[in-house]
Structure 1
Amino acid sequence: MRRGLVHAMAWTLATGAAVTLSWWGVHTVMSGTAYDPPLAVPLATRPLSSSTHRDGPPPSSPAASPSPSESQSQSPSWSPSPSPAQSSPKPPPGPSPYRQPDAGASGNVKAYPVSGGRAVFDLGASSAELVSATPAAGWRMQVWKQDFWIRVTFTREGREVSVFCTWHDHPPAVEIVDP
């Protein structure tokens, strides 16, 4: 019995030491790694284009409005929700991690699809902003940003596809490197 307890105690100590050593190694490696924040692109307050957009108020249907007797039977705390024309969505507080305020932004948003995914830039007269970058299924993505260029790289199984946007001493230009 005593021999079994000694073996169990030795196994417990060895397992604890192995788990601690493994955690410490992983923690050391991961603490030196920088991760980009999750991509969350704010919704535009007005659509850029729409084939169904019509000027004027939305059409109302007679079935949607309650009859006078129905509206009187509602509780006093009830109030109709405002229609989209009455309230406008508020932009999220603070800048998005991928969109930074810039006087050179013009609203000229262009998408660049490549075999590893898709990069979308807002090209201004003297600078550019990354709107979004989405990897295709099975691909990984990495983004680098500097004062005069942005690089989006998609990788999978040793293959690398990059989308470069540069604007130093010239208007923004996009180059795709897909060997």
Structure 2
Amino acid sequence: MKALLRLPAFMLYYAFARHLPGSARAYAFGAGALRRFLARFLLDGVGAGANIEHGADFGSGRGIRVGKRSGIGVNCRVGGPLDIGDDVMMAPGVVILTQNHRFDDLTVPMLDQGYVGGGAVVIEDDVWIGTNAIILPGRRLGRGSIIAAGAVVTKDVPPYAIVGGNPARLLRSRKPQ
């Protein structure tokens, strides 16, 4: 049944629901609930209380799982394979990449070389990702970590770490010393 409704849900989401107001707006009138409903047909998994925000772009949705009370933020762009744990906060403008352009053949323009998968991104539970952060392919964001606004995550982030900058580096730990 889910497979039969995938194409209509895809069309409704990208033509209509994606453009409805953000969930927190007083005039949203259930826009978030509609986006979550359609996402259940598009994503591989959507946990209870998950939030898909205004402008969120997740391509076909294949290979993407969003945990309980987690969300894809306003105007975020994500691709699969991506596993978002429970209680993950994602601010506006976050980009999560899981593939890259090929560039190994010097005789062929990079534009014509296609793509190579860079690996799944795993975001563990209780992570906060700040505005305009970029997560590169194959990264793991540890439980309880915080990714500062504008950070470019090029390496795995340990649990309870606060990282920021380009490339992102450890700023401090949330754990008491």
TM-score after normalising by structure 2: 0.28
Is the radius of gyration larger for structure 1 or structure 2? 1
TM-score after normalising by structure 1: 0.28
